[in-house]
Chains A and B, each alone.
Chain A
Amino acid sequence: SQQGEEDPQALSIQEGENATMNCSYKTSINNLQWYRQNSGRGLVHLILIRSNEREKHSGRLRVTLDTSKKSSSLLITASRAADTASYFCATALYGGATNKLIFGTGTLLAVQP
């Protein structure tokens, strides 16, 4: 079974609306990261939140982490058509020295102009 599972699998919103994506994981982590992927190309790192942090902001992005529920959420505020992409969460497992990331199943976000 997957370490990271995201929901919803797909999300369609209008420009200007907020988009929220959720990620759940199974084992203890050192940090959790969010990435964006446009049209099957390489992934772009968005934000990293450590296991001892609860919330982090970067521009229009807000990430929360609840280690007791083993879940995280990514909020994109005031979405734009350019935000259309797939979004993946990835977890770095606790105690690992290699910084291996386990990726979730992804959420496909479509922002309609």
Chain B
Amino acid sequence: EADIYQTPRYLVIGTGKKITLECSQTMGHDKMYWYQQDPGMELHLIHYSYGVNSTEKGDLSSESTVSRIRTEHFPLTLESARPSHTSQYLCASSPGYNYGYTFGSGTRLTVV
């Protein structure tokens, strides 16, 4: 069973809309991450967080923003969706160094 939950699972939305992708984990992990993945391709880190009130941009430039007000919650927001944002967004968490990640099931976003 997943201990990290992403909603929605699929989202089709029109250009210009504001969207928030939800990610919650029940494991008390301090470190959380957002990755972007196009079909059949590698994952690219777009945001990460060390803990509450700490967020950093990842290696791939993204127009999205994140917040970390509670340990368990790490939502990602797109203020104005564009077709170029169409992708799969994967959220993950980790207890720390030398531990693996636990991934959510992902949100597949399509902007039309």
Interface residues of A (CB under 8 A from B): 2, 4, 30-31, 33, 35, 40-45, 48, 50, 86, 88, 92, 97-106, 108
Given contacts A40-B39, A106-B42, contact A48 B59 (CB under 8 A): no
Return the 7 tightest CB-CB contacts between A and B, nearest first: A45-B100, A42-B103, A103-B43, A43-B103, A42-B105, A105-B42, A99-B97
Assembled-state Cα–Cα distance A72/B94 (Å): 22
Contacts of B77-112 to chain A: CB distance below 8 A: 88, 90, 92, 94, 96-106, 108
A98 to B37, CA, bound (A): 21
Report if B33 contacts A (CB, 8 A).
yes
Residue contact A43 to B99, C-beta cutoff 8 Å: no
Expressed in whole angstroms, the minimum distance between the Cβ of A5 and any Cβ of chain B is 9
Tell me the dominant secondary structure on chain A's binding face. Answer: strand
> Mask for B1-25, Cβ within 8 A of A = 1, else 0?
0100010000000000000000000
Given contacts A88-B42, A104-B42, contact A99 B105 (CB under 8 A): no
Within the assembled complex, what's the spacing in Å between the Cα atoms of A97 and B51? 13
With a cutoff of 8 Å between Cβ atoms, the chain B residues found around residue A104 in the complex are: 42
Known contacts A48-B98, A104-B42, A98 near B103 by CB under 8 Å = no
Q: Which residue, of B37, B41, B43, B44, has the highest number of chain A Cβ atoms within 10 A?
A: B43
Are B90 and A43 in touch, CB under 8 angstroms?
Answer: yes
Question: Which residues of B have CB within 8 Å of A43?
Answer: 43, 90, 92, 101, 103
Does B99 contact A99, Cβ atoms closer than 8 Å? yes
Alpha-carbon separation in the docked complex, A9 to B96 (Å): 30
CB-CB < 8 A to A88: which residues of B? 42-43
Contact A98 B2 (CB under 8 A): no
Whether the Cβ atoms of A99 and B45 lie closer than 8 Å is: no
Query: Nearest CB to that of B35 among chain A residues?
Result: A103
Contact A42 B2 (CB under 8 A): yes
Given the interface pairs A31-B98, A99-B31, A99-B94, the reply to whether A44 lies near B103 with Cβ below 8 Å is: yes
B48 CB–A CB distance under 8 Å: yes
